[in-house]
Amino acid sequence: MTDIPHILEEVIPADRISRDEPMSAHTTMRVGGAADVFVRIASAGELGEAIRLLRSAGEAYVVVGRGSNLIVSDRGYRGTVLCTSGSFAGISCRESEDGKVYLKADAGTLLGALASYACERELTGLEFAAGIPGTVGGAVRMNAGAYGSETADLVASVSLLSPDGSLTATDAAGMDFAYRHSRVSESGEIVTDCTFVMTRGDRQAIIARMEELAKARRDKQPLEYPSSGSTWKRPEGHFAAKLLEEAGCKGLRVGDAQISEKHSGFIINRGSATASDILKLMRMAEDRVFEASGVRLTPEVEFIGMEGDDR
Ligand SMILES: Cc1cc2nc3c(=O)[nH]c(=O)nc-3n(C[C@H](O)[C@H](O)[C@H](O)COP(=O)(O)OP(=O)(O)OC[C@H]3O[C@@H](n4cnc5c(N)ncnc54)[C@H](O)[C@@H]3O)c2cc1C
């Protein structure tokens, strides 16, 4: 059998490579079995080299950020998880001759850290992102958004690593952004960094907006429990949470997975939920909503390690 950690040690220090790593420790939902190999990536160069080695060994791999939009199978992942969160993080700021200010952030930079960095420099635009517990790479891929703003609004350019190892850069138009979608969702490309174009603002106003949005989240969202945020996308012309409530799904439970009583759009983990509980609950809720309203909810969360009829 190929010894993948041994191969990867050619380009990544051994202390950032682990075997049989429980993915429940790397997802905000706190579910998921073990990944065969788990690597903490620290740079675009490492990412490119690791993928080159994994591809030539015929090993499956997936890139993850903070795991805040992920449900990982209870069986885990048969392959290598390349994780950017926290370890592949850096932010720089530059001003162009025409007075525009740009923030460039590595893929594993946490959105909260980026929003704080912008605030310290009196740059407005990223207030909406302060409470989204993901990375820049995950946010670009998902076109993460909240309270009327989304990632795409601020993107000046994105650096992408394609499966064949080539690095390209594209502007926002080339990213094919749509609601919770970017071209990366289909292309298999990996975001290595993103440059955001910012507007000068007032520090106190930025802080006030971030506090206002943080309060709105605390009031409306079940932040006291592990979750993956909104489980389903907003169907056109509807609100998922309202449809779920009208279909009698509020509080519905399978094992320790529950449709939150505070916000029906969230599935929460009340302690020892499994991925299988969550999937069963999702199917149950989707069927109830369809029967009650004729609307078929589609997941916003993404899945790793699922097979055949899991989903
Ligand atoms: C409490 C809570 C509140 C939330 N609120 C919001 C919200 O208001 N708005 C919103 O949009 N989302 C929200 N989310 C969901 C989530 O935080 C976002 O979707 C976030 O952008 C995901 O980033 P991540 O780093 O955690 O990605 P992950 O969950 O790690 O990955 C998500 C997907 O992106 C892929 N991916 C990760 N990194 C890269 C990369 N560098 N290149 C290519 N693909 C990559 C993964 O393979 C996976 O398919 C919330 C989640 C929680 C738990």
Residues with Cβ within 6 A of ligand 1? 28, 62-70, 84, 107, 132-135, 137-139, 141-142, 144-146, 184, 190-191, 223, 227-229, 302
Q: Is 234 a catalytic residue?
A: no
Model confidence band, residue 308 (pLDDT cutoffs 50, 70, 90): low
Residue 18: its pLDDT value, please?
97
Instruction: For residues 7-11, give the mean pLDDT.
Output: 97
Residue 180 among the catalytic residues: yes
Catalytic residue among 59, 180, 182, 286: 180
What is the reported pLDDT for 99? Answer: 83
Q: Mind listing the pLDDT tens digit for each residue in 75-84?
A: 999 999 999 9
Confidence at 23, pLDDT banded by 50, 70, 90: very high
What confidence tens digit (pLDDT) does each residue in 292-303 have?
Answer: 999 999 999 999
Q: Residues 6 or more apart from 80 whose CB is under 8 A from it?
A: 4, 8, 35, 36, 37, 38, 39, 50, 54, 59, 60, 61, 62
Taking the whole predicted model, whether its pTM rises above 0.85 is answered as yes
Question: Is residue 275 scored above 80 in pLDDT?
Answer: yes
46, 64, 72: which to mutate for ligand 1, most atoms within 8 A of CB? Answer: 64
Distance 98 CA to ligand 1 centre (A): 33
Residue 83: beta bridge partners? Answer: 40, 64
Mutate to test the pocket of ligand 1, among 46, 68, 80 (most ligand atoms within 8 A of CB): 68
292: exposed, middle or buried (C-beta count within 10 Å: 0-12, 13-18, 19+)?
Answer: middle
How far from chain centre, in Å, is Cα 285?
23
Could you give all domains of the chain from N- to C-terminal order, each with its CATH number?
Answer: 4-83 (3.30.43.10), 91-212 (3.30.465.10), 222-310 (3.90.78.10)
Lowest mean pLDDT across 163-172, 259-268, 291-300: 163-172
Residue 196: exposure state from Cβ atoms within 10 A (0-12, 13-18, ≥19):
buried
Query: Ligand 1, closest atom to CA 223?
Result: 1
Atom of ligand 1 nearest to the CA of 180: 11
